[in-house]
Amino acid sequence: MTGITRKDMTKLVVFDFDGTLGDTRANIVKAMQDAMHAEGLPEVSEAAIVSTIGVPLEKGLEMLWPELRGEKRAAFITTYRRIFEEDRKTHIPPLFPNVKETLRSLKEAGLVLTVASSRLSDSLKGFLHDMEIDRYISYVLGADNVTKAKPDPEPVLKTMRELGFRPDETMVVGDMAVDVLMGKRAGARAVAVTWGNAVLSELENSGPDFIIGDMSELKAIVGLDNSILPVAKRHLLLANAIVWGGPGIKVLVTGIQSYLAIWPSKIIIWLALGTVATIAVFNWMFSFFVKKYTRRILAFPEEKKSLFAFLPVKGWIMVIFFMCLGISLKFIPGVPTEFFASFYPGLGTALVVAGATFLAHWIKAAQ
């Protein structure tokens, strides 16, 4: 323990594994499909298989093949686990971004970290060892260690009982609604992560205390975030408004200038239609990010946040990519003025609308 002081009461963090710490989706899907073919079962889609991640294997098979029972189900389970373990030896699934760094920070701050999963405990321990994060995990609870699976609270209740923690000192982190429900039914706080296997609406409907888009955000929730240039979190909405709306105005002005440069023209009507189509496409695309980033910012647990937190890492990459792309287009020989006259006004308008929406959310948050 490093002596770091925290305002938060959390002392125990219970993590799900598949879809939360490790990106095992490809391994699970491949093993399930190979076992399906080996046992001669009817084809099921990848989406159907993914929907069973996070629940015990027996229950997942009931969802996929209700008719599979008795010896045939037992044979399938044996085949699936054999294929999965063989594949694990050569294809170690990656950790999700910032998982290892966050686990290290939490451990150094004195928090007790555990894992509760629908996976068998031996498989869990093998993964934690292969991924080199077992040193941070104090207690591992698999499907073979409980009588009732998620969303029943037994895995969390047993963890708290074995390690001596209260519900108000405990936090559950997972990517599925069953993880959230398990934590809430145990009286603990629940954090839903968006990078796993669930649909966002399902996570929201399960009632988590927090929703995060990057594991590093967990440090702020437990009071470990040392923010750079701290500002009121609502001002992150204003930062987004500037980042989206500012370039939008510049792009829009460039497009209008290109438009006026070819006025009048016989193809003006086609350029206008192209602009309208561009606005429609980018408005649809940007509205998703506006909603996602607004929800993320408002869900931050503390009032003060780092100024740079107005975008997650993926958001920064996306913005920088599109900025570079937009700038480079002006310097590519042979790009006709008509393209800028049609595309740029549409893109610029969509960016300005996104910025204005963030601005509206900022005004509302300030009231």
Closest CA to 233 of 324, 310, 328: 310
Helix axes 154-163, 177-185, angle to 10 degrees: 50
Given the residues 8, 18, 144, 168, the one annotated as active site: 18
Task: Give the whole-angstrom CA distance, residue 55 versus residue 361.
Answer: 37
| The Cα angle at residue 336 between residues 332 and 340, in degrees rounded to 5 | 90
| Residue 14 backbone dihedrals phi, psi, to 5 degrees | -105, 115
- Catalytic annotation on 18? yes
The DSSP-derived string for 157-197 is: HHHHHHHT--GGGEEEEESSHHHHHHHHHTT-EEEEESSSS
Closest CA to 349 of 338, 361, 357: 357
Beta strands in the chain (DSSP E): 12-15, 112-116, 139-141, 170-174, 189-193, 210-212, 230-232, 304-306
Q: Coil, strand or helix: which one is 232?
A: strand
Task: Give the whole-angstrom CA distance, residue 79 versus residue 97.
Answer: 31
Given the residues 8, 16, 122, 209, the one annotated as active site: 16
Quote the DSSP letter at residue 137. Answer: -
Task: Give the whole-angstrom CA distance, residue 68 versus residue 79.
Answer: 14
- Catalytic annotation on 225? no
Query: What per-residue string of b and e applies to 252-263 under the rule 16 or more CB within 10 Å gives b?
Result: bebbeebbeeee
Active site residues: 16, 18
